[in-house]
Amino acid sequence: MGLRRSWLESANAPEGEFPLNNLPYGVFSVGDGDLRCGVAIGDRIVDATGLEAAGLLRADPDADVLDAPYWNDFMELGREAWSRYRAALTAMLADGADEAVQDQIITHSVPMAEAVLHMPFRVSEYTDFYSSLHHATNVGTMFRGAEHALPPNWLHIPIGYNGRASSVVVSGTPVTRPHGQIKASDDATPRFAPSARFDIELEMGAIVGQASDGPISVAEAFDNIFGYVILNDWSARDIQAWEYQPLGPFQSKATATTISPWIVSAEALEPFRTNTPAREMPLLDYLLEPGPMLYDIVLEVGLTPDGSTETVIARTNYREMYYSAAQQLAHHTSSGCPMRVGDLLGSGTISGPERHSRGALLELSWGGKEPITLDTGETRTFVEDGDTISLRGHAQGDGYRIGFGSCVGKVLPARG
């Protein structure tokens, strides 16, 4: 499929993030105005809340679902309603739409440059996974040696931990360096101090759009995922090293999780589906995928020191993941765990086989032993105060791309 042309010319730029093929969902405000649900198209945001209130485009004929500052109520309508709404909005924005329809869209839209973006959905609960073979191998090699890099269960199940929904913030939100309990070596006394090894993790986030009350199949899990965001799992490695045994990460991962402002629907990503990698061990039947359930999404990490210029420090691809979001969700439900609309699943750090494709500074600097050099000549082992981290990604089509908007966070000094 090539570019779907829109009468809004800015949506037809080959390198633009928001063509008619995309139509991602977000929440915006202008000036002192209320928060409203919106859809990105070219350089404008369609006011979905306004279209619904005017009776011009409704997702549910019997109820307002876009009158709250999040897309959760819309998600609850289900996959068929998602598809109908997307098709109707596509028709209104497509080349050849009536002039009256175009006028309605212009009336109920704003320039993106004038808008402030907010959290696009209400996070019910948050689970983060550890599903990149290259990342897990690199981290395991650093701490346990190459022969014991992967835990015995890693090739059999998607490993994850329950995070904090309260810590999830939208792109642009500053992140304060955390304090925590740190123990530098086996013979040292623990101390309470700011993290000196503050890190980022390049991830994708899958958003659950349909609730489930018990185990669901991988195919059902795939259908239950509403869309995807880019996600930065901020991680305090020195706090993590002291606390993670025996129950895994806790405060080291509770500072913040930043997401990109636009939810790209699963339907928009449909042309970019791809298979997970060949298995080193056969999976149990409940984790088998009936078709391609991963996506070809190009990703990169930029680091900008305070008052300086950006260096792209990593490039990788979502297709590197060993487990898809559908497999992660199916495994999450396998114990009978209920899932809610708005649950967020972090993919885990996305790393490729080359050094430049590693999705965390822990890997890029090999635990701090091999500093990376920025274009400015400065070096980094971990994130320093004043650094701005920008995660970006897109799926590349024929003459168009599907973008997510940047996932940005600036690190502020620790308090006190």
Same domain, 235 and 350: yes
Selection from 118, 403, 365 nearest residue 261 by Cα: 118
In the listed set 118, 143, 158, which residue is the last one of a domain according to the structure?
Answer: 118
Task: Tell me, yes or no, whether 98 lies in a domain.
Answer: yes
**pLDDT tens by residue, 225-259:** 999 999 999 999 999 999 998 989 999 999 999 99
Average pLDDT estimate for 22-41: 98
Same domain, 135 and 104: no
With 0-12 CB in 10 A as exposed, 13-18 as middle and 19+ as buried, what is 103? exposed
Task: Tell me, yes or no, whether 4 lies in a domain.
Answer: no
Task: Tell me, yes or no, whether 2 lies in a domain.
Answer: no
Q: Flag whether pLDDT at 268 surpasses 90.
A: yes
How much is the pLDDT for 354? Answer: 96
Task: Tell me, yes or no, whether 3 lies in a domain.
Answer: no
Task: Tell me, yes or no, whether 241 lies in a domain.
Answer: yes
Which residue(s) pair with 37 in the sheet?
Answer: 27
How much is the pLDDT for 184? Answer: 82
Average pLDDT estimate for 345-367: 98
In the listed set 118, 143, 173, which residue is the last one of a domain according to the structure?
Answer: 118
Q: Would you state the structure tokens that stand for residue 371, as one six-digit string?
A: 């500093």
Same domain, 321 and 182: yes
Same domain, 60 and 139: no
How much is the pLDDT for 289? Answer: 97
**pLDDT tens by residue, 72-99:** 999 999 999 999 999 999 999 999 999 9
Q: Flag whether pLDDT at 310 surpasses 80.
A: yes
Active-site residue flag, 148: no
pLDDT tier at 186 (50, 70, 90 boundaries)? confident
pLDDT tier at 1 (50, 70, 90 boundaries)? confident
Task: Tell me, yes or no, whether 84 lies in a domain.
Answer: yes
Q: Flag whether pLDDT at 185 surpasses 90.
A: no
Same domain, 283 and 158: yes
- Which domain, by its residues, includes 69? 9-118
How much is the pLDDT for 159? Answer: 96
Q: Using CA atoms, how far apart are residues 73 and 341, in angstroms rounded to an integer?
A: 9
CATH label of the domain that carries residue 351: 3.90.850.10
Same domain, 263 and 296: yes
Same domain, 81 and 169: no
**Which of the following is catalytic: 108, 118, 134, 135?**
135
Task: Tell me, yes or no, whether 245 lies in a domain.
Answer: yes
Average pLDDT estimate for 307-334: 98
Same domain, 141 and 79: no
Q: Using CA atoms, how far apart are residues 58 and 395, in angstroms rounded to an integer?
A: 29
Looking at the structure of the chain, the number of domains it has is: 2
Q: Would you state the structure tokens that stand for residue 280, as one six-digit string?
A: 């080193």
In the listed set 118, 143, 171, which residue is the last one of a domain according to the structure?
Answer: 118
Same domain, 91 and 161: no
Q: Cα–Cα distances in Å, from 108 out to 55, 83, 174, 377?
A: 12, 21, 31, 47
Mean pLDDT of the chain: 97
Same domain, 39 and 148: no
Same domain, 74 and 213: no
Q: Following DSSP, what letter does each residue of 225-256 receive, concatenated?
A: EEEEEEEEE-EEHHHHHHH-TTT--SGGG-S-
Q: What percent of the chain has pLDDT over 90?
A: 96
Same domain, 249 and 398: yes
CATH label of the domain that carries residue 38: 2.30.30.230
